[in-house]
Amino acid sequence: MTPFDWHRMFIGEQPPLFFLEIVFRVVVIYLFTVLLLRFMGKRGQQQLSPFEFVVVIALGSATGDVMFYPQVPILYACLVVVVVVTLSSLAGQAQLRSQRVNDFLEGRPRLLIEHGRVLDENVRLERLRPDEFLGLLREEGIEQTGEVRYAFLERSGKLGLYRYDEGEARDGEPTFPLHLAGRDGRVPPPRPGA
C-alpha cells in the first residue's frame, strides 16, 4: 500500500458503480432497521437507558460495515439486527416481569439530598464529582441545598426534586460554582459597573 495515495484514500479501489451499491445498501439497511425498531414500541423512542444505549451501539456496528464494505453481505447485517432487536425485546419483557432484572438493566433512582443535606456517600456511589452535582442542581434553579426536601438521581441521569414550599427552606450548601465562589462558598458581590 502506498501512503497518501489520494485516489485510494478518497475514491477507493472499487469500480465507480460501487458508489451506487453503497447508496442501495444504506437504503436497504436503514429501512430494515427502522421497520424492526417499530416493533420495540414507543419506549424505545424515549431517552436511552444504559441498556438501550448498548443496543444502539450494537445496531450501529452491525449496520455500519455492510453499508460500505463490499465483502459483507446485506443478509449478515439483517441477521444481526434481528438478533439484537429480539434480545432487546426479550429483555424488555423480562424487565416487566421481574423487578430484579429491571434494576439490573436500568439501575435504580438514588437519593442524593435528604431534607437539605447532601448524602455524600450516595453522590460518590453515583460517581458524580461535587462540581458536576452542583451543576445539576443549578440547572434546576437551586441556589442552595436547603431548598430541596429530596433529590434523586433518576435512571435517566436527570435529577428528580421535591422542593420545600416557600418559607420552609432550611440552611444548606450553596450551589454556586466552586471555582467562582469565595472561600466561604458564598456568591461574591457584584462588581461595580457589572
Domains, the chain? 12-104 (no CATH), 108-189 (3.30.240.20)
What mean pLDDT is predicted for residues 24-50?
66
| Distances from the Cα of 9 to the Cα of 14, 15, 24, 187, 193, angstroms | 12, 14, 22, 55, 56
Residue 153 has pLDDT above 50, yes or no: yes
146 near 183, Cβ under 8 Å?
no
Task: Determine the 3-state secondary structure of 176 from DSSP.
Answer: coil
More confident residue, 60 or 100: 100
Residue 43's closest CA among 107, 80, 95, 119?
Answer: 95
What mean pLDDT is predicted for residues 3-31?
82
What mean pLDDT is predicted for residues 109-114?
94
pLDDT above 70 as % of the chain: 83
Highest mean pLDDT among 39-43, 175-179, 181-185: 175-179
Residue 180 has pLDDT above 50, yes or no: yes
159 near 137, Cβ under 8 Å?
yes
Mean pLDDT score of the chain: 80
Encode pLDDT of 117-150 as tens digits: 999 999 999 888 888 899 999 999 999 999 999 9
User: What is the per-residue pLDDT for 190?
Assistant: 59
What count of other Cβ atoms lies within 10 Å of the Cβ of residue 121? 8
Buried b (16+ CB within 10 A) or exposed e, 98-111: eeeebeebebeebe
Residue 84 in grid coordinates = 439484537
More confident residue, 14 or 51: 14
Residue 186 has pLDDT above 80, yes or no: no
Residue 110 has pLDDT above 50, yes or no: yes
d(CA 43, CA 143): 34
